[in-house]
Amino acid sequence: MNHISIQAILVCQGTEYQAVCRGLSRVSGYKPLVIPIPVGGKPVSTYLQKSQDIKEILNNPQSKVLVMGLCGSLQPRYQVGDIVLYTDCIYQQNTGEILASECDSTLTAFLQHDLQEKAAVVKALTSDRIISLHTEKRHLGQMLAADVVDMEGFAVLQFFQSAGLGVGMVRVVSDGCDRNLPNLNATLNSDGSLQPLSLAIAMLKQPFAATRLIRGALQGLQVLEEVTSCLFQ
């Protein structure tokens, strides 16, 4: 794959960003710019409009952008540690209307070739909130025929597509659809950052779910680091 066509990797700030940077540190030769983005659709839209790094990417109409990070499973067949390659993202508005946005098909084909059998090709749902109940995950997966869920994909696709740039998305499943997670929605600030104290309290309230979340995240981050190295070797 011509990695020079990927000018930047967008990945959520914090541990996901650190995992991608660790993966790239093992790569010799060309490395794309890694840009940490906030969590959530609205914060990421605001960030993309203001970022100087993003302005520079938009100045090169040949650039491609890769989104990486963790996601949640909405279907039993996708388990913690699985690598997924998005074909498209859907988003359900408050009215119930479903919007869809497709990833760049050429870039997706290149990524699929590079990852070969390692990645499953999926349809993603972008949600405005963290889906913590396994019953809701299953329901959304069945109702919307979506495979995985994240909180940024659709907003990123919309932004770059309006500028005429192609986007690819590779993520790693960090939580399955068969277990509940702690409800962490109250721990997110409006700018997409986490409140450490609120996060700690929410985790302590649901210790078993919190342990599961941490285990899944650690496993997902390890795979994320490896897949980053694999793609850019």
pLDDT of residue 12: 97
pTM comes to 0.94
- The whole domain housing 65 covers 3-232
Q: What is the average per-residue pLDDT within 133-154?
A: 96
What is the per-residue pLDDT for 3?
55
Structurally, the chain folds into a number of domains equal to 1
**Residues 139-159: what's their mean pLDDT?**
97
Q: How high is the pLDDT of residue 138?
A: 95
The CATH number covering residue 35 comes to 3.40.50.1580
Asked if the model's pLDDT at residue 233 lies above 80, the reply is yes
* Amino acid letter for position 215: R
DSSP string, 146-185: -SEEESSHHHHHHHHHHTT-EEEEEEEEEE-SSS-----G
Judged against a pLDDT cut of 60, whether residue 119 lies above it is answered with: yes
**pLDDT score at 30:** 87
